[in-house]
Chain A
Amino acid sequence: MTFKAVEIAKDVYWVGAIDWPLSDFHGYTTYRGSTYNAYLVVGDEVILVDTVKKHLFKEMVKRIASVIPLEKIDYVISNHAEMDHSGALVELLKYAKPKAIIASQMGAKNLKMQLHNLPEITVVKDGEEKILGGIKFKFIETRMLHWPDSMFTWLPEREILFSQDAFGMHYAVSKIFVDENDRHTVEWEMAYYYANILMPYSNLVLKLLERVEALGIKPKIIASDHGPIFRGNDVTWAIQLYRKFALQEPSKRAIIVYDTMWGSTELMAKAIADGIVSEKVEAVLLPLSKTKRSDVATEILYSGAIIVGSPTINNTLFPSLADVLTYLFGLRPQNKIGAVFGSYGWSGEATKQLVEYLEKMKIPIIGEVKCQFVPDDEKLRECFELGVKVARELKNICGEKQNG
């Protein structure tokens, strides 16, 4: 039979679906597709943890059916109400008649507003424990990581943590464990996912990691809702990576995010980069003609400075900059410094608008260079100096951090 379950631990099966062709996840460019992970725990009773996207319902069902008939499912736990994990629930309920659907308080509320005609949902409190099928389940609310409804399900006796989107990545794989896949790709996809999904809640991530430790939760397996599963030493590795991401410590790396009409703003970008590099600080140019907004998010996670440049078109900044800055504003990057630049023909409003965006994001602005039409050598020198200034400030900040 096609589409089998994969046993990830004794009595615990992966029964998710692989979305190989996925290229766009609500505006997040997925270079490697994704997986929606659902898990089946088979004790004296049968528990399903999360489901998959609606259109992959059949794939999930076949994987479940390779272990037990669908009607044997006694409980469905919804760790996260978002439709990539709850979408197949309504369809599932046509074939399975669980005794209870279990969710957090906000989960119950959010599920009902997305999937209509759901039966009554059993609400579990933060920290509540239940014995299901002879196995102990503990539910830990992780509000705003990354939705109000999000929670962890922890199996203390089995030392398995079902972490929904936390520790996830959009990475379609046929080998289910992290240690069976390319580590650099995993790390990159984790950072990419963190930057785009969890970055705004970094403070909460740090608090949650502390809480997990305080509760004495030391998983042998972290099974998230997207991408491969962590086991053994990879569990500690994943937690350490998350701590690093969440701290958002500044690094000696500056990104230059810009667009250009006739090449002038681009010339300025290159001169600024030259100035940065002259101070032995890394500069990364991100022309928006070819850079996806979700990539800018990862780049800013890894950087200490963001320098934004835009030409002025009809008295306004370039739309691509408005797109990316609107997105970044929502992601609330911390501990960055900024600068702005841009070429214009006659009015030059764009740089002022860029300043407003950065101020709204509470990013201190180190400097600004405006240029009417094409930059000459003197103007390029000014750009170079801006780069030097940003680089020196970065070294200052990073140095202070290291000494302190």
Chain B
Amino acid sequence: MGEKRYVCSVCGYVYDPAKGDPNNNIPPGTKFEDLPDSWVCPVCGASKDQFIEE
């Protein structure tokens, strides 16, 4: 439990590993580090490297 959450530095969206990103086929429980490199912020489209640890 308690995997780290990451915030998009562009739009403020929070990636919560507990929730994942089901709309984009990322199941709950997926760690931020395990997101594919092609994954982008579902709100603003920013790439993974724009995210910072909460």
The size of the chain A interface, using a CB distance under 8 A, is 8
Question: Nearest Cβ distance between residue A205 and chain B, in whole angstroms?
Answer: 12
CA of A204 to CA of B13 in the docked complex: distance in angstroms? 10
A106 touching B43 by the CB < 8 A rule?
no
16 A–B contacts, CB within 8 A, in A order: A106-B10, A141-B12, A143-B10, A143-B11, A143-B12, A143-B44, A144-B11, A144-B12, A144-B43, A144-B44, A148-B10, A148-B11, A148-B44, A201-B43, A204-B43, A362-B23
Question: Nearest Cβ distance between residue A359 and chain B, in whole angstroms?
Answer: 13
Within 8 A of A (CB), among B16-54: 23, 43-44
Q: Which residues of A contact B11 (CB under 8 A)?
A: 143-144, 148
Identify the closest chain A residue to B43 (Cβ): A144
Question: Nearest Cβ distance between residue B13 and chain A, in whole angstroms?
Answer: 8
CA of A143 to CA of B7 in the docked complex: distance in angstroms? 13
Q: Which residues of A contact B23 (CB under 8 A)?
A: 362
As a 0/1 sequence over residues 346 to 375 of chain A, the CB contacts with chain B under 8 angstroms (1 = contact) are: 000000000000000010000000000000
Given contact pairs A141-B12, A148-B11, A201-B43, a sample of 12 additional A-B residue pairs in the complex whose CB atoms are under 8 Å apart = A106-B10, A143-B10, A143-B11, A143-B12, A143-B44, A144-B11, A144-B12, A144-B43, A144-B44, A148-B10, A148-B44, A204-B43
Q: Which residues of B contact A148 (CB under 8 A)?
A: 10-11, 44
CA of A362 to CA of B12 in the docked complex: distance in angstroms? 24
Q: Which residues of A contact B12 (CB under 8 A)?
A: 141, 143-144
Identify the closest chain B residue to A105 (Cβ): B9
3 smallest beta-carbon distances between A and B, as pairs: A144-B11, A143-B11, A148-B10
Q: Which residues of B contact A204 (CB under 8 A)?
A: 43
Q: Which residues of B contact A106 (CB under 8 A)?
A: 10
Question: Nearest Cβ distance between residue B52 and chain A, in whole angstroms?
Answer: 13
CA of A144 to CA of B13 in the docked complex: distance in angstroms? 10
Within 8 A of B (CB), among A318-364: 362
Question: Nearest Cβ distance between residue B19 and chain A, in whole angstroms?
Answer: 14
Q: Which residues of B contact A143 (CB under 8 A)?
A: 10-12, 44
Question: Nearest Cβ distance between residue A351 and chain B, in whole angstroms?
Answer: 25
Question: Nearest Cβ distance between residue A206 and chain B, in whole angstroms?
Answer: 13
Q: Which residues of A contact B10 (CB under 8 A)?
A: 106, 143, 148
Question: Nearest Cβ distance between residue A322 and chain B, in whole angstroms?
Answer: 20
Question: Nearest Cβ distance between residue B50 and chain A, in whole angstroms?
Answer: 10
